[in-house]
């Protein structure tokens, strides 16, 4: 940790300086001083924030990770709060595709919260930026997180809410984004899923729904890159399984067995092969399409 | 007068022959007992005095010395009452001594001379047989247990007086013979996997666990059916062999778990200790060196429901028995080895409230709570569990759908029996029976992987961050899957499937 402190020392920046994040200058109450570690210049690039519930479902984590990856593919900076759950996966997705990512803390930039994300924080320091308006050694408190949410939305041209319960903190971020006149996107979910109530409601109130991951690219006015047709390399049975996963929303091994009329053993074997090819992804017993 | 009578004494789950020597001498009336008797043996003197008098004999008013030989091992248990009483009666001439050395006596005396049942009869009888003794007196209570031992004559001891009459040739007691078709286990009215709707993925994993004796961890929200699935695992295991029944009954006998209507253990044990269990009760030990739950689950199933709620020390202590199939316990009273070859079935929730990742209920745990819940299952323990699966709660339409019944115990049991036979044949010349016991050179010999298969495994090794131990565990599980498939070699699909059952360590558990 001491070595990291030397490598990525805490620096400060004020609105009077040139490198102060561009988009942050235009919000109502920009922080008068920002503490940061890492490369501050990336905060003036095009940023999109991806936030959501700390718990979330496998679906939410998948969506966050995919968004992170997609944004990194187009060299867009992913901003998030490095909280457990959705935030973590947004950062991870971006880092996986060698993208830049910014973590905005509700505590000092030398405090790692939650502690479990220590490795992730090091990775973010190496490939991006950690910033906060709270001085070093400031411990996380329940009021500091809502305040920092305005920085998350303020840094970005748009904010994506991936999953939010009825009283999720990410709804505060959504409110800030709307106040600041930034774009607001939400990932729709099943209406019987409590973590999607918040996001579905946002869509009802006018947020732009992300119906496929590429929507975020279209919204930003960028041209879609052609994705490689990996499906062509698959065998007949593998395609049957892949399609079953593609058409079912939150598929489990049991549901794939039912649609493809194969035994659990066969299905499990093929899932591994598809996973190794990077086509699908499983989380907490559910299986998703990865691309 | 001096007399010699034989009995046996427990030592762990083994027993040794003991000679009870009784000497009567002139002097002030007194009774001394030597040869390291513990408190239950020393208390015998008062029971014996009353029993002898109430059986119509005279208690000798002499200086009595009783020696339990060999004198350097500790002796415990109330079954010394009968041999000591017989020895004393022999010393005063009430019992004829010329045939006495053919018999071994086991039994606790009641004050009126009746003989009560004791625990540990099976190993006691086995010990006597192995020492070359042929005729054994056992309390009527423990007959069924004692007749499990072949090549010995078992005589039911009901009352001190009747035992004496038999030896004196006044009224003979008939040798007890095993009742036939007693051991036939009825398969009626049993739980069945058909009772569990859906969950075919987990049933498949449990089939693999049963076939290769692999340990399994199930993670899932409350009400998903974890306990139901675990309880039915015994229905798909093949019945125990004679030898296994003997060994399991032996352990249960020592632990005092047998009773009048459960005299021998004919079915595979299913042990489900509550999570408040102390480490000693789980592992075994204590001043009397009793077997713990893991040994009582020998050749059966140890089900630890809500495993993170268990005392963490207790869980960590499982490491050695999980690897070696036995537990060595060192105490002041000696060192014993109890067998502990069981299938560990563990179940836990994804978090403290149980609803992490569930779409119907909100998870109310803080991230610190989730982390601490998960950290309770340490890496070394997780690493040792071969199969790790996650299950989902079914929704209403899935529960009511007619076609979702899924596999029944009968189909699963057939697959398991088949795979176990293949393993038995393959490991015939070795001291093992299951794939989960494969080690070192044999692992390479019986688990040949072709280039393509090895490639997949290597790729997965990198991507999933597996340890070396879990790498081999995957190969062993794949071996079992190949056996279920009746294939000579492990194929790509077998490894692929095995990899699916090792998700927990990098997905939900290490979030």
Look at residue B211 and tell me whether its pLDDT is greater than 90: yes
End-to-end CA distance of chain A: 36
B143 in a domain, yes or no? Answer: yes
Same domain, B374 and B302: yes
Please report the ipTM that was assigned to this predicted complex.
Answer: 0.73
Cβ-Cβ contacts under 8 Å for B228 (sequence gap 6 or more): B195, B196
Q: Could you say which residues from 371 to 410 on chain B have a Cβ atom under 8 Å away from some Cβ of chain A? A: 371, 390-392, 403-404
Q: How far apart are CA A44 and CA A279, in angstroms?
A: 34
Going by their DSSP bridges, the two strands A101-104 and A128-132 should be labelled as parallel
Q: Candidates 3.90.930.12, 2.40.10.10, 1.10.10.10, 3.40.47.10; correct CATH number of A230-289?
A: 1.10.10.10
Question: What does the alpha-carbon distance between residue A191 and residue B299 come to, in Å, rounded to a whole number?
Answer: 48
Q: CA of B372 to nearest chain A CA: how many angstroms apart?
A: 10
Place of tokens 């095995």: B498
B216 in any annotated domain = yes
What's the topology of domain A6-219? Answer: Rossmann fold (3.40.50)
Structural domain includes residue B363 = yes
Which residue in the block uniquely carries the two structure tokens 């403290």? B352
For every one of its 291 residues, what pLDDT tens digit does chain A have, with 9 covering 90 and above? 567 777 889 999 999 999 999 999 999 999 999 999 999 999 999 999 999 998 888 889 889 999 999 899 888 999 999 998 899 999 999 998 899 999 999 999 999 888 888 899 999 999 999 999 999 999 999 899 999 999 999 999 999 999 998 888 899 999 999 999 999 999 999 898 889 999 999 999 999 999 888 888 888 877 766 555 556 677 788 888 888 887 776 788 888 888 888 888 888 888 888 888 777 877 777 787 775
Q: Which residues in B lie closer than 8 A to residue A56 (C-beta atoms)? A: 357
Q: Is B365 on the interface with A (CB under 8 A)?
A: yes
Question: A61 to chain B, minimum CA–CA distance in Å?
Answer: 10
Mean pLDDT across the stretch B89-102?
A: 91
Sign of the Cα torsion B464, B466, B472, B474 reads negative
Instruction: Convert the pLDDT of each residue in B403-438 to its tens digit.
Output: 556 778 888 899 999 999 999 888 888 888 888 888
Does residue B285 contact residue B329 with C-beta atoms inside 8 Å?
Answer: yes
Q: Are residues B290 and B330 in the same domain?
A: yes
Tokens of B415: 């697959």
Cβ–Cβ contact A7 with B under 8 A: no
If phi > 0 it is left, if psi is from -120 to 50 it is alpha, else beta; for residue A138 that is: beta
CATH of the domain at B15: 3.30.230.10
Q: What is the reported pLDDT for B402? A: 58
CB contact under 8 A, B357 and A284: yes
Q: What pTM was computed for the model?
A: 0.74
Residues of B in contact with A194 (CB under 8 A): 359-362
CB contact (8 A) between residue B359 and residue A85: no
Which residue from B441, B483, B489, B510 is spatially nearest to B210, judged by alpha carbons?
A: B483
Retrieve residue A235's tokens.
């065998």
Q: Is B169 left (phi over 0), alpha (psi -120 to 50) or beta?
A: left
Q: Is B36 on the interface with A (CB under 8 A)?
A: no
Does one domain contain both B138 and B235?
A: no
Phi-psi region at A71: left, alpha or beta (left = phi > 0; alpha = psi -120 to 50): alpha
How many domains does chain B divide into? 2
The answer to whether the CB of B475 falls within 8 A of the CB of B488 is no
Same domain, yes or no: B216 and B132: no
Asked if A264 is an interface residue toward chain B (Cβ–Cβ < 8 A), one would say: yes
Which of B371, B399, B430 is the endpoint of a domain?
B430
Helix/strand/coil for B293: helix
- Regarding whether B81 and B206 lie in a shared domain, the answer is no
> Do B209 and B148 share a structural domain?
no
Those residues with Cβ within 8 angstroms of residue A264's Cβ, 6 or more apart along the chain or in another chain: A253, A254, A257, B200, B201, B203, B204
Residue B509 is assigned to a structural domain of this protein: no
Is residue B155 located within the same domain as residue B198?
A: no
Burial of B256 (0-12, 13-18, 19+ CB in 10 A): exposed
Whether A68 contacts chain B with CB within 8 A: no
Residues B220 and B101 in one domain: no
Q: What is the CATH number of the domain that holds B268?
A: 3.40.50.300
* pLDDT digit string, tens, across residues B262-294: 777 888 999 999 999 999 999 988 877 889 999
Domain check: are B228 and B265 in the same one? yes
Domain ranges of chain A: 6-219, 230-289
Strands (E), chain A: 11-13, 34-38, 47-51, 77-80, 101-104, 128-132, 158-161, 183-186, 208-209, 280-283, 286-289
- Contact between A272 and B350 using a beta-carbon 8 Å cutoff: no
pLDDT at B112: 94
* String of DSSP letters for B433-481: -SGGG--HHHHHHH----HHHHHHHHHHHHHHT--HHHHHHHHHHHHHH
pLDDT at position B510 is 33
Chains A and B form CB pairs within 8 A to the count of 116
Residue B439 in any domain: the answer is no
Other beta carbons within 10 angstroms of residue A4's beta carbon come to: 14
Q: For residue B496, what is the nearest residue in chain A, using CA coordinates?
A: A269
Note whether B255 and B306 are same-domain residues. Answer: yes
| SS3 at position B114 | strand
Q: Look up the domain containing B243 and give its range.
A: 193-430
Asked if A168 reaches chain B (Cβ–Cβ under 8 Å), the answer is no
Collect all residues of chain A within an 8 Å Cβ-Cβ radius of residue B507: 282-284
For A41, the 3-state DSSP assignment is helix
B157 and B230: one domain? no
pLDDT band at B304 (very low <50, low <70, confident <90, very high): very high
pLDDT class of B200 with cuts at 50, 70, 90: confident
| C-beta atoms of A57 and B361 within 8 A | no
Interface test with B, best of A81, A112, A262, A272 (most B CBs within 10 A): A272
Class of residue A261 by CB neighbours under 10 A (exposed 0-12, middle 13-18, buried 19+):
exposed
- Poorest-pLDDT segment among A7-16, B186-195, B314-323: B186-195
In a domain, B136, yes or no: yes
Q: Are residues B163 and B270 in the same domain?
A: no
B200–A254 CB contact, under 8 Å = yes
For residue B248, is pLDDT > 50? yes
Phi and psi angles of residue B136, each rounded to the nearest 5 degrees, phi first: -135, 130
B251 within a domain of the structure (yes/no): yes
Q: Say if the Cβ atoms of A114 and B493 lie within 8 Å.
A: no
Examine the fold and report which residue of B430, B449, B477 is the final residue of a domain before the chain moves on.
Answer: B430
Angle A74-A77-A81 (CA atoms, 0-180°, nearest 5)? 140
- Note whether residue B277 is domain-resident: yes
Query: In the listed set B388, B413, B430, which residue is the last one of a domain according to the structure?
Result: B430
């Amino acid at each position: 940790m001491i070595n990291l402190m030397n490598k990525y020392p805490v620096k400060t920046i004020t609105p009077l300086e040139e490198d102060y994040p561009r988009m942050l200058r235009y919000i109502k109450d920009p922080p008068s001083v920002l503490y940061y570690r890492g490369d501050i210049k990336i905060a003036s690039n095009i940023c999109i924030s991806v936030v959501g519930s700390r718990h979330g479902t496998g679906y939410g984590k998948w969506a966050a990770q995919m968004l992170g990856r997609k944004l990194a593919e187009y060299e867009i900076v992913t901003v998030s709060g490095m909280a457990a759950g959705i935030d973590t996966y947004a950062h991870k997705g971006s880092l996986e595709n060698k993208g830049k990512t910014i973590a905005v803390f509700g505590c000092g930039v030398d405090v790692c919260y939650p502690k479990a994300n220590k490795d992730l924080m090091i990775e973010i320091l190496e490939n991006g930026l950690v910033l906060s308006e709270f001085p070093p050694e400031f411990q996380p408190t329940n009021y500091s997180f809502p305040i920092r949410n305005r920085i998350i939305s303020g840094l970005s041209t748009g904010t994506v809410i991936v999953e939010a319960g009825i009283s999720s903190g990410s709804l505060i971020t959504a409110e800030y984004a709307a106040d600041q006149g930034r774009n607001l996107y939400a990932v729709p979910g099943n209406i019987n899923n409590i973590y999607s109530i918040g996001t579905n409601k946002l869509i009802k109130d006018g947020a732009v729904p992300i119906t496929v991951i590429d929507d975020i690219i279209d919204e930003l006015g960028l041209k879609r890159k052609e994705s490689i047709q990996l499906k062509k390399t698959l065998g007949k049975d593998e395609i049957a399984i892949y399609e079953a996963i593609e058409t079912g929303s939150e598929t489990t091994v049991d549901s794939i067995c039912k649609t493809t009329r194969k035994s659990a053993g066969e299905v499990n074997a093929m899932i591994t092969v598809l996973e190794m090819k990077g086509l699908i992804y499983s989380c907490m017993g559910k299986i998703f399409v990865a691309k | 007068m001096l007399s010699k009578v034989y009995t046996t004494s427990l030592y762990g789950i083994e027993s040794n022959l003991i000679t009870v020597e009784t000497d009567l001498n002139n002097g002030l009336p007194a009774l001394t007992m030597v040869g390291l008797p513990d408190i239950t043996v020393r208390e015998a003197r008062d029971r014996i005095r009353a029993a002898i008098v109430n059986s119509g004999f005279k208690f000798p008013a002499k200086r009595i010395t009783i020696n339990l030989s060999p004198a350097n091992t500790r002796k415990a248990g109330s079954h010394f009452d009968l041999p000591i009483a017989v020895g004393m009666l022999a010393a005063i001439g009430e019992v004829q001594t010329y045939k006495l050395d053919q018999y071994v006596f086991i039994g606790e005396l009641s004050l009126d001379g009746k003989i009560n049942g004791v625990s540990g009869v099976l190993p006691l009888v086995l010990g006597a047989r192995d020492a070359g003794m042929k005729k054994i007196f056992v309390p009527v209570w423990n007959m069924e247990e004692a007749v499990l031992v072949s090549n010995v004559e078992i005589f039911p001891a009901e009352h001190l007086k009747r035992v004496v009459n038999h030896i004196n040739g006044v009224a003979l007691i008939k040798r007890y013979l095993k009742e036939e078709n007693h051991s036939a286990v009825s398969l009626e009215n049993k739980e069945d996997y058909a009772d569990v709707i859906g969950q075919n993925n987990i049933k498949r994993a449990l089939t693999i666990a049963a076939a290769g004796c692999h340990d399994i961890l199930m993670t899932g929200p409350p009400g998903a059916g974890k306990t139901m699935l675990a309880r039915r695992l015994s229905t798909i295991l093949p019945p125990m062999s004679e030898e296994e029944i003997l060994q399991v009954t032996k352990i249960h006998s020592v632990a005092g778990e047998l009773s009048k209507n459960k005299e021998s253990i004919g079915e595979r044990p299913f042990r489900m200790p509550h999570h408040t269990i102390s480490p000693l009760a789980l592992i075994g030990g204590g001043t009397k060196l009793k077997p713990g739950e893991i040994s009582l689950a020998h050749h059966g199933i140890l089900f630890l429901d809500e495993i993170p709620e268990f005392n963490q020390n207790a869980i960590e202590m499982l490491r050695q028995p999980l690897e070696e199939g036995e537990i060595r316990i060192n105490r002041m009273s000696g060192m014993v080895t109890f067998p502990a070859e069981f299938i560990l079935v563990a179940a836990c929730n994804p978090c403290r409230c149980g609803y992490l990742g569930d779409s119907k209920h909100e998870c109310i745990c803080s991230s610190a709570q989730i982390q601490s819940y998960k950290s309770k299952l340490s890496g070394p323990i997780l690493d040792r569990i071969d199969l790790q699966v996650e299950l989902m709660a079914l929704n209403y339409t899935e529960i009511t759908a007619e076609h979702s019944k899924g596999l029944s115990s009968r189909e699963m049991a057939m697959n398991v029996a088949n795979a176990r036979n293949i393993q038995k044949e393959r490991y015939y010349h070795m001291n093992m029976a299951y794939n989960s016991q494969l080690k070192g050179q044999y692992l390479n010999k019986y688990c040949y992987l072709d280039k393509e298969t090895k490639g997949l495994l290597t790729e997965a090794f990198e991507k999933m961050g597996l340890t070396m131990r879990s790498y081999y565990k995957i190969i062993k599980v794949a071996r079992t899957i190949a056996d279920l498939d009746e294939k000579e070699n492990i194929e790509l699909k077998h490894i692929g499937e095995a990899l699916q059952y090792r998700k927990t360590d990098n997905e939900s558990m290490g979030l």
